[in-house]
Structure 1
């Protein structure tokens, strides 16, 4: 007991625990106390705890495409992203993201209290929004985007980021992440080997405007680099995309995560690198801070020994990662962080559910109304509801979704009326 008490006292006396210091100074102190092996472990999406410093485990992977996703708790589910884009209502999307962030905070707080800290889909770093351009309707993930228009995508993405992250001068409500950077709009089956070739005009007028808006004007906390290659280099190791544009031209100081197992693609599918160590070192040198996957970045300690990268260069990535966690208030007293005590009662709050219904109604686009069939006359006694998804709750929820307490299918909605 005496040793345990002494350990806690020592942890609380570290400068990185001193809330009077700047985040920059606190990050510098924390990073200086880590071994190389500890640093490498913190660059995977599922990071282990660091007991001697009192740092809890954390998983960077979470989703909030249209409401908090994949959580074990019941949450408000909003229309799929492509449907919300059909509203053309940036204010409504901003409010949706704000409500989702509040529920995300409640989920995180509840998970911590229940000892689930470090589990996937319970953190505060959300890999949303998907601001890729939906150019071809055959792309199986187009429903996650805001459509085919670069300007609309940029404005909706900006509204989402501002709503999710909030405007507190010190703390993030939640951390958004713009994905997938860049030139990534299908085809889905070949994304792990595909080399995208785009003209300069197409790159800057189609694929990059939304990313530029979120990075330079919206303060997005993170960016996810894509699976595909661009001009022969995997996106997560692209000289042009990651270094010249993102870090130098746009001066992005947030964190970058790979798409999941994208670093493995360097040496397994793109065949641009001979092994995990060379791929991992190159990705980090290009500014990819998190390896979403299982193994690749574990080779970074070996990469240092082989002279492929230095520990100082790894420190750059580690500092960016801990900066995000500090900005989320993870190392500060709950009383100091405005969202740290968000109660579970906010989940599926009536205001949130009402807004989800409002956005669903606004998202409907009437393309044709032959013979003035709509609105339906109340004198009609029978209606045929046809199709396999008319009473399919799963189809209503979309993908990257949470689970609400109840779902109203089209058939149920008609019956309710």
Structure 2
């Protein structure tokens, strides 16, 4: 009897530490470092690798929910749903007002958290690239050439101004709570990313002095002063080494010189481009190996840091330490966002969806819009105009009659007002307002968009090239299908696909027109049931 009692006592005693250990990564009162190490000790290598991709699936056995990295918020949250929309980043830079910039970013992060809360802490958000706690923002690359298509995303050509505005934006997104991150801010694209033409393969040769004097300072400020929780690498190479796997850039400069503590994410599809664009390596396994060893923690995508990385591990190309290091950095951010906590101690879980598009947020957007206007020269005090002394006003320009928000833009909560509409609303009925759009293209062609489709377009997306089966359907304002240069769109089926747009066409003025359709694959164009263009079988 005595022996039996002692044996049971020993078994109970031995079980106690195991029960306690199971709770460490879930225990909100334990240090983050200990929680992460405890969680890593419980994960299989396959589960660790699943944390290193943009569309990270859940791990049910450990109560880890899915997490989809990669929303955008350069001047307002892009998706899902409607939000407050601000002027483009280049406009925000022209306010020269970092305090206002931080207010703008605070509104953005408030609305992001509010929608996340509305979606039951993300549980009801199912679309890829649409979770609301990680943003690929801000863009602090130097805008050296006005022909660069990403210039509106930036804060201009001055490294100091870009750094000041970038830091204010990072702080506004990430919040000021000593324990929790409000949002993960991701300054991009590190480094020397300044052109679109051949951005997947370009290889600028830039001296270290030029890099540290001009191309790096804005990033350095975002890391050192802004405490950015993430950094995104650039597609291009730098001095013959692609940024995606550039160990000097990621380990020496970022982590050693600047003491960066967050995680490094690739530009979307960057690791795959090491094989098919840069041709720096021959296999995705090699791309995975060199990237993770150079300090790339997370893939924006779900291609290389998936089966190829696991294959590299199984072939002893990648070590447990390589994977653990990347997983640690990614989990550190997710822990600080509160994704493993109950939410009772996290102030950001209390933000109400009612703040989205609120009057207060609209006022911040109005302040930003007013301050970003740059009046170059008001000769002879021509402005403001006196409507009582005018008989007519000509409003000239292709964008005057529509609201052009630019790239990476969300949909506004409030109804937008165009320049043309604003002028008409401002002047009395005695002043005639005439709209005169122009054709800017050398061939005289005018883009069919916006007001040309008064009822919008029915867009049908098929998961095959033959317009067969049941499509995914939504309403769109115009035809602009260019996924390679647009934000990731979770609505689109995976390629190969086919699309049909249908709607009513209204020309700007009556007359004779020539239709032209540009695509890199087959296309057909019908008008009133009559086929005008038939190039389905080839490129045009």
Coarse TM-score class (shorter-chain normalised): over 0.9
User: In the TM superposition, what is the alpha-carbon distance from 1:201 to its structure 2 partner?
Assistant: 2.4
Aligned residues: 404
Choose between structure 1 and 2: higher strand proportion. 2
Find the counterpart in structure 2 of residue 5 from structure 1: none
Find the counterpart in structure 2 of residue 4 from structure 1: none
Q: Deviations over 1:331-385 (max 9, x none)?
A: 1112111011321101001111111111111111112334432110131242111
User: In the TM superposition, what is the alpha-carbon distance from 1:312 to its structure 2 partner?
Assistant: 1.9
Stretches of 4+ aligned residues off by more than 6 angstroms: none
User: In the TM superposition, what is the alpha-carbon distance from 1:401 to its structure 2 partner?
Assistant: 1.2
Find the counterpart in structure 2 of residue 192 from structure 1: 200
Corresponding residue SS for 1:353? helix
Matched, 1:272 2:280: yes
Counterpart-to-counterpart distance in 2, 1:120 and 1:235: 23
Q: TM-score scaled by structure 2?
A: 0.73
Counterpart-to-counterpart distance in 2, 1:43 and 1:207: 28
Counterpart-to-counterpart distance in 2, 1:63 and 1:215: 19
Corresponding residue SS for 1:196? coil
Find the counterpart in structure 2 of residue 92 from structure 1: 100
User: In the TM superposition, what is the alpha-carbon distance from 1:30 to its structure 2 partner?
Assistant: 1.1
Q: Deviations over 1:216-250 (max 9, x none)?
A: 22211000000000111110111321121112211
Corresponding residue SS for 1:375? coil
Rg bigger for which structure? 2
Find the counterpart in structure 2 of residue 386 from structure 1: 396
Q: Is the 8 A contact 2:247 2:295 kept in 1?
A: no
User: In the TM superposition, what is the alpha-carbon distance from 1:175 to its structure 2 partner?
Assistant: 1.0
Cα RMSD, aligned residues only: 1.6
Decide which of 322, 329, 342 is 1:313's aligned counterpart. Answer: 322
Find the counterpart in structure 1 of residue 358 from structure 2: 349
Counterpart-to-counterpart distance in 1, 2:400 and 2:127: 38
Decide which of 218, 225, 228 is 2:233's aligned counterpart. Answer: 225
Using CA pairs below 8 Å that are at least 6 residues apart, which structure has the higher relative contact order? 1
Counterpart-to-counterpart distance in 2, 1:190 and 1:324: 33
Matched, 1:203 2:215: no
Matches within 5 A, 1:50-129: 50-69=59-78, 71-112=79-120, 115-116=124-125, 119-129=128-138
Gaps of 5+ in 2: 1-18, 427-540
Decide which of 168, 178, 183 is 1:169's aligned counterpart. Answer: 178
Corresponding residue SS for 1:335? coil
Counterpart-to-counterpart distance in 2, 1:12 and 1:384: 73
User: In the TM superposition, what is the alpha-carbon distance from 1:12 to its structure 2 partner?
Assistant: 11
Q: Is the 8 A contact 1:107 1:122 kept in 2?
A: no
Gaps of 5+ in 1: 1-9
Q: Deviations over 1:53-99 (max 9, x none)?
A: 11111111111100111x13221000000000001000000111011
Counterpart-to-counterpart distance in 2, 1:375 and 1:23: 57
Counterpart-to-counterpart distance in 2, 1:239 and 1:306: 22
Decide which of 33, 50, 59 is 1:41's aligned counterpart. Answer: 50
Q: TM-score scaled by structure 1?
A: 0.94
Counterpart-to-counterpart distance in 1, 2:419 and 2:204: 40
Q: Deviations over 1:27-76 (max 9, x none)?
A: 1111111111111111110000101011111111111100111x132210
Q: Is the 8 A contact 2:262 2:329 kept in 1?
A: yes
Decide which of 350, 355, 359 is 2:368's aligned counterpart. Answer: 359
Q: Deviations over 1:376-416 (max 9, x none)?
A: 013124211122211212x1x22111111311110111122
Find the counterpart in structure 2 of residue 21 from structure 1: 30
Choose between structure 1 and 2: higher helix proportion. 1
